[in-house]
Amino acid sequence: MLKAIIVDDEKISRDILNDYLVKYCRDVEVLDQCDSVQAGLLAIDKHQPDIVFLDVEMPKGNGFDLLEQVKDISFETVFVTAFDNYAIQALNYSAAYYILKPVSIDELVAAVEKIKAQKQKNAAGVHTKVLLENMKARSIDQHKIVLPLQDGFEVVSLKDVVHCDAHDNFTDFHFVSKQKMMICRTLKFYEELLAESGFVRVHKSHLVNLEHVQKYKKGKGGQLTMSNGSVIDVSPNKKDELMQYFEKGK
């Protein structure tokens, strides 16, 4: 049985979520419902939950404020938010669990099942911890990203990612170490996620980290030589966009 608490300033939202958990997530026991960051902190300390269902936006401090005040995170967080905004990118970096309001029963059940699987592997709290580390990082190159694998996940530093290649509905990540890792997400997903982190789509099959570009060879589209020795084709329709990045000094 997974112990849970709900933190949301709206009573109707708490009641709906609690009802869904009772009906559709029989392995979850809700031990407390809280209407503020302070009440949530007290409940976490008292109950030591496995899951915290946490509203992102609340009148007196948001969900991230709560997490920053927890001394030892040993639980996973399911963020519940009415806003598809900046917070979603931060959550996706850490592969954190989140559900948009109104809550989808299917998404709720899926999040709980994933957390159950992580708990069995003694990996509880990893996603939440990576999220907090990224929020405290002074620069983007200190950010980490959680990459979902077929048999679990791996936490890596963005600065170690050289380029990403499309592989059907998967993405191959290539690293400074020359290691390759197949990730269970599309290249389009990472193009959007990493757009503000120095990664640029230069081809329908290639996304590159500009910090690892060592050489450009002219041509119809041209080619990039990366720090790990990879040679990446540039599409003709992406050439001008790529050149603009370098003219700006990255």
For the segment 61-86, the average pLDDT, to the nearest whole number, is: 82
Confidence of residue 34 (pLDDT cuts 50, 70, 90): very high
Q: Does position 248 have pLDDT exceeding 80, yes or no?
A: no
pLDDT of residue 84: 59
pLDDT of residue 121: 65
Computed over every residue of the chain, the mean pLDDT equals 87
Q: Where in the chain is the domain with CATH 3.40.50.2300?
A: 2-135
Whether the bond into 102 is cis, omega within 30 of 0: yes
With a pLDDT cut of 70, the percent of the chain lying above it is 89
pLDDT of residue 38: 93
Residue 201 structure tokens? 């789509």
What pTM was computed for the model? Answer: 0.67
* Reduced 3-state DSSP string for the chain: CEEEEEECCCHHHHHHHHHHHHHHCCCEEEEEEECCHHHHHHHHHHHCCCEEEEECCCCCCCHHHHHHCCCCCCCEEEEEECCCCHHHHHHHHCCCEEEECCCCHHHHHHHHHHHHHHHHCCCCCHHHHHHHHHHHCCCHHHCEEEEEECCEEEEEEHHHEEEEEEECCEEEEEECCCCEEEECCCHHHHHHHCHHHCEEEEECCEEEEHHHEEEEECCCCCEEEECCCCEEECCHHHHHHHHHHHHCCC
For the segment 31-55, the average pLDDT, to the nearest whole number, is: 95
Q: Where in the chain is the domain with CATH 2.40.50.1020?
A: 138-247
pLDDT of residue 153: 76
| Fold entry, domain 2-135 | Rossmann fold (3.40.50)
Return the number of other C-beta atoms located less than 10 Å from residue 121's C-beta.
Answer: 11
Contact (CB, 8 A) for 165 and 186: no
| Fold entry, domain 138-247 | OB fold (Dihydrolipoamide Acetyltransferase, E2P) (2.40.50)
pLDDT tens column, 189-211 = 999 889 888 899 999 999 999 99
pLDDT of residue 88: 66
Confidence of residue 86 (pLDDT cuts 50, 70, 90): low
